Chains A and B, each alone.
Chain A
Amino acid sequence: GAVVSQHPSWVICKSGTSVKIECRSLDFQATTMFWYRQFPKQSLMLMATSNEGSKATYEQGVEKDKFLINHASLTLSTLTVTSAHPEDSSFYICSARDEPSGQETQYFGPGTRLLVL
């Protein structure tokens, strides 16, 4: 099946620094990618929808200036957590939408664990 990668898988940073997370679709082109956040023992929460060549659409309550999303190509979307604080520590997961021959499928990357000290 299709593969989505994320990098890095783990990041520990100091409060106030910025962290960039990459999401790549490895064997298909994804015009749409999604970014989620998951806190321990909670469900995945959609943060934003990333469309290639246009601005991301953010869910209510998600600060667009804090979580910068860039979908530079059909296989790459990046999420930058700017001026990270301890409350931003979470599991960040991207998904990529694959629509071959009209059959919808969405694949998730392996996730990135962020720990802000």
Chain B
Amino acid sequence: GQNIDQPTEMTATEGAIVQINCTYQTSGFNGLFWYQQHAGEAPTFLSYNVLDGLEEKGRFSSFLSRSKGYSYLLLKELQMKDSASYLCAPTDSWGKLQFGAGTQVVVTP
């Protein structure tokens, strides 16, 4: 079965750092995606983790622990445009993504 858990909402100020945690229980787990979705738009790709550890891409970093069924997305130097929903999506070997409800990040001035 599939079970994905991430916080519903997080609020932070411009310039701050926010960490979005995600725990999952997925059969046939292959890797984990993080996507950003602005209201009314389709998701945009942020990262994909297959191996344990931290992957850094500019202001965004993503971490994966396969044994713990745990991942986090780290957003640094927050900007107003980072206000969006962030989706944790584990995938199986067929590439099928399962989405949780997402975490709404609100960036305040």
Contact = CB atoms under 8 A, between A and B. Distances in A.
Interface of A: 1, 32, 34, 42-46, 49, 93, 95, 97, 103-111
A43 B96 contact: no
B100 A34 contact: no
Contacts of B96: 34, 46, 49
Interface in B23-77: 30-31, 33, 35, 41-45, 48, 50
A24 to B, nearest CB: 14
A80 B30 CA distance: 30
B87 interface: yes
B31 A104 contact: yes
A105 B45 contact: yes
Given A105-B48, A106-B97, A93 B42 contact: yes
Interface of B: 30-31, 33, 35, 41-45, 48, 50, 87, 91, 94-102
A106 B33 contact: yes
A45 B87 CA distance: 12
B97 A34 contact: yes
Contacts of B99: 43-46
Contacts of B95: 32, 34, 49, 97, 104, 106
Contacts of A34: 95-97
Given A43-B87, A43-B102, A110 B97 contact: no
A49 B35 CA distance: 19
4 nearest A-B pairs in the assembled complex, by CB-CB distance: A111-B42, A108-B42, A97-B95, A43-B99
B45 A46 contact: no
Given A1-B45, A104-B31, A49 B101 contact: no
Contacts of A1: 45
9 contacts: A32-B94, A43-B101, A44-B43, A46-B97, A46-B98, A49-B94, A106-B45, A106-B91, A108-B45
